[in-house]
Structure 1
């Protein structure tokens, strides 16, 4: 009986070895690792694949669905917490007009170095767009220092509200953190939270913090396939 040869996938194509390109420390957490396999990139934490260039659908949906829910004029101000691989930023820029502003808060400077280095083609110049302000900082500090500033806050700083990457991310998703986020939003503003999995306790916490909550399941891949991820859209009730 015939079969795929060792080192080939089920279609008979030669498998491409995964190459470790770089590592980066996470303040208060484990080490991130950047891998490349052919033209695909993966960022991993321990045995967990945090993000992949092959699965950008839910990150794009985070931007697109948030923009769909914006209220107000032609010059919205958005905060994106966590650059990742830039899919959310690129999608938001594609949807918003020339007067919009987007602040990107990224904790790990190496992530931005990777975006400007080995993944520059993936970034497609988004970080150099004049509408973008980049801050190398913890997004929780930006939120805590803002009052009525943002039309939308888009959070994709971890694998979900459980703080996988670093335990201190829990403070973003705590009752106190959600209260700070509500104060940082303009009237009618949206707090959008991405997660790799459902979390009923977090949904209740959002409601207890005074938000009207909409929970949407989206596919990991842009073709509508892959795992189901969750986005909570929370508007101050």
Structure 2
């Protein structure tokens, strides 16, 4: 074997793998086409469009800039790869209030409107795939979900049930300002360093919270996109 053939063979071995693992998926996922609900197989008709609202693009940038992906994933793995689907509220709801099971694994539509898919590095903290729904139903407990997230970002260990949280404080995403007339309805329930001032979220904090609240798994997807084997049999 000549050196030239060795280099060509090595390049082909890595090049073909890179082509099919990186390049082809990139071009397929950058321009997602609507998936149609099948009559007789699905309970809905028409095309599937993911429900996503909020400042997704700007918030995703703040999320990445602050390294949230280092401790949190946004991936609900298929059942053959893990038990994510059946962890409470991770991959959707067993009953969405209408008797419909919305639990499912992650699909490409979940990262639509984002420049990069925030898949994550480790699960040092909980997976955030369904955080928006989880905050609304479990954490906020009837209060404003955005207010709960602001308080958590400012002081993750303030709540009694979160004293062991390893989440760092993001106080630099908030600012102290003088109270003008009545206190702001966005003011955090923490004392400011100076009397007569209040702590409020900056635009970056608002974008991040809007993004986090957009992370929901509560929509019904076509059966062709739901790869969970017999998920209804597991309670």
TM-score, normalised relative to structure 1: 0.30
Name the one with the larger helix percent.
2
Please say which structure displays the higher CA radius of gyration. Answer: 2
TM-score, normalised relative to structure 2: 0.30
Instruction: Select the structure with the greater relative contact order (CA < 8 A; seq sep ≥ 6).
Output: 2
Name the one with the larger strand percent.
1
